[in-house]
A and B are shown apart, each in its own frame.
Chain A
Amino acid sequence: MELVTLNFIYLLASISFILGIKMLGSPKTARKGNLIAAFGMILAILVTIFVYPSIHHIEVSKLKYTLIFGAIIIGTIIGWSIALKVAMTKMPELVSFFNGMGGATAGLIGLLEFSHNLGNTSKISMIVAGLVIGSISFSGSMIAWGKLSGKFRKPIRLPKYNLLNTFIAVIIIILSIYIVTAEINNPVYLYILFILALMYGIMFVLPIGGADMPVVISLLNSFTGLAAAFGGFLYENMVMLTGGILVGSAGTILTLAMTKAMNRSLSAVIFGEFGEGSAISGSDNQVSGNIKEISPSDVAILLNYAQKVIIIPGYGLAVAQAQHVIHELEELLTNKGVDVKYAIHPVAGRMPGHMNVLLAEANVDYDKLVDMDDINSEFPNTDVVLVVGANDVVNPAAKNDPNSPIYGMPILDAELAKNIIVNKRSMNPGYAGIQNELFFNEKNSMLFGDAKVVFTKIVQELKSM
């Protein structure tokens, strides 16, 4: 009877995960989907704690119950408060942080289960695989988290890092196979493997530039899913298996969708073909000319007489926390009869959908956010395009310059609009490190300054008109 209960609840939880992910795919049902998956997770956890021991005739001591519930309470308090406290601009690194926690859990499980399963080749291979992937995911996510929160932004490249990383990867694979096939009993080998995997995670993410970080986080996300699935195999636990594989495969597809939107191959991201060398040579050669500056009050006048305005938000908007003032501007213009829309590039910000989350925070109407493919045809009859803190996603070099590292990436056709206004803090190139010829376009004016400050001025000017 108890076994039936356990299996039934696990089945229910697995269904809740599938349903949850499905519902997360549509704006109307997304929130409910998340709650359904969370509910399934709680059921699966409770049934494991209370029903599993009696099936396997385990006497659970008071000490263990105290530790188990203590851990859950501590984890819940910390996790909940971090999740509520962190600003929406910090979302990508937060996902990375929580992902690392899951990876660490998988790694620690591997360390603990090794000695219990000696001699069972298939279980040992699951343990080793879960340990390696979980540990890589942990250390890699921590580096990604550090990079995105600005602790160290520049890609750090050791000499011949590709060779070095491949070398470590090969050693990890050989050592793993050795531990499994030679039926090693000495846990020291496992500890060495653990440390090597942690090192690999660090060295794998360190050379990758900030612009590629979302792809890396998504990849590490599917890694952790895979590590959980290996745990499922190890314990013959169906809910771990289904949940893990689901995230593993969904995460991989999401990763590929992201690389596609950036027109980069996954191998280019990992092996760093976005090298600084190519970025520098791209920036010097083709781009030159004069740039025009514009003052906030001139922008206000321009906007006041426009009929159609498109706003292109980027990460700079998030950094400046300008989403609220942008929304104020949009409402003000809409009340004056101007048609205002937001053009969302698939990889604007630091994660796909990052801009949507940010603008939603500022209460921007969901219908005003238009995807790249739908809005690109509207640029030619747009009076003013406001580029706020975006750069690479409007760089015409992606279309015109075969030598540019971003050549082929789909972009927003801002250059087709009648007037272009680019708000940036300085002339520094964007995250990809490439100069933008749009800035030298004769229809373009640069509005220098912090987005929040200058747009607050524009709003004030507009109000007085």
Chain B
Amino acid sequence: MEQIIEFINQNIQMIYIVILMIFVGVELISHVPAVLHTPLMSGANAIHGVVIIGAILVMLHMDDEYILGLSIGFLAMILGTLNVVGGFVVTDRMLDMFKTKK
């Protein structure tokens, strides 16, 4: 229990951010026409590729001698890049088809 209270005290700013972002996410999505659900899902999919920042931080802090760690970090970075690049490119490709022609 004490640990939980301590955790909340230490991270109160981040907890605020979490709660506010939850509401932002809900608000943003509830006004979207069904037509755009697939591109939206794909776009959101690309955005959670932000997890690649974590992989970069792992690599930056990693001991140069620790080969196994470096290899796993390297793999994590490739997969994270796949998520980011693939996600954004696919979304762009989908949306390219929605060009309105009059």
Contacts and interface: CB of A to CB of B under 8 A. Distances in A.
Given A98-B90, A251-B41, 15 more contacts: A25-B28, A30-B39, A31-B98, A44-B53, A94-B90, A98-B49, A104-B76, A105-B79, A108-B79, A111-B72, A224-B45, A228-B48, A246-B21, A351-B38, A352-B38
A271 interface: no
Contacts of B31: 25
Interface string A244-276: 111111111110011001000000000000000
A244 B43 contact: no
Interface in B49-81: 49-62, 64, 69-70, 72-81
Given A122-B3, A221-B48, A361-B97, A80 B79 contact: no
Nearest to A134: B51
A37 B48 CA distance: 11
A361 B98 CA distance: 8
A356 B75 CA distance: 35
A363 B100 CA distance: 9
Nearest to B71: A67
A194 B59 CA distance: 20
B45 A48 contact: no
Q: Is the interface of B mostly helix, strand, loop or mixed?
A: helix
B23 to A, nearest CB: 8
A352 B37 contact: yes
B37 A254 contact: yes
A253 B25 contact: yes
Nearest to A360: B97
A59 to B, nearest CB: 9
B26 A253 contact: yes
Interface string A447-461: 000000000000000
11 contacts: A26-B32, A41-B47, A45-B56, A71-B75, A246-B47, A247-B44, A254-B44, A353-B34, A353-B38, A366-B100, A371-B33
Kindly list the 6 A-B residue pairs having the minimum CB-CB distance in the complex, ordered from nearest. A75-B81, A249-B25, A71-B77, A352-B37, A79-B86, A243-B50
Q: Which of the listed residues A25, A80, A225 has the most CB atoms from chain B within 10 Å of its own CB?
A: A25
Contact of B81 (A17, A74, A84, A218): A74
A153 B38 CA distance: 21
B76 A366 contact: no
Contacts of A221: 41, 44-45, 48
A82 B54 CA distance: 24
Contacts of B74: 67, 70-71
B54 A237 contact: yes
A109 B25 contact: no
Contacts of B86: 78-80, 82-83, 94, 97-98, 101
B90 to A, nearest CB: 4
Contacts of B88: 34-35, 37-38, 41
B48 A102 contact: yes
B65 to A, nearest CB: 10
A243 B48 contact: yes
A22 interface: yes
B95 interface: yes
A76 interface: yes
B17 A30 contact: no
A112 interface: yes
A72 B80 CA distance: 9
Interface string A347-376: 000011110110011010110010100000
Nearest to A138: B79
A245 B22 contact: yes
Contacts of A35: 88, 92
B18 to A, nearest CB: 5
A122 B10 contact: yes
A255 to B, nearest CB: 9
Contact of B18 (A102, A109, A241): A241
A245 B57 contact: no
A24 B36 contact: yes
Contacts of A70: 74
A344 B55 CA distance: 41
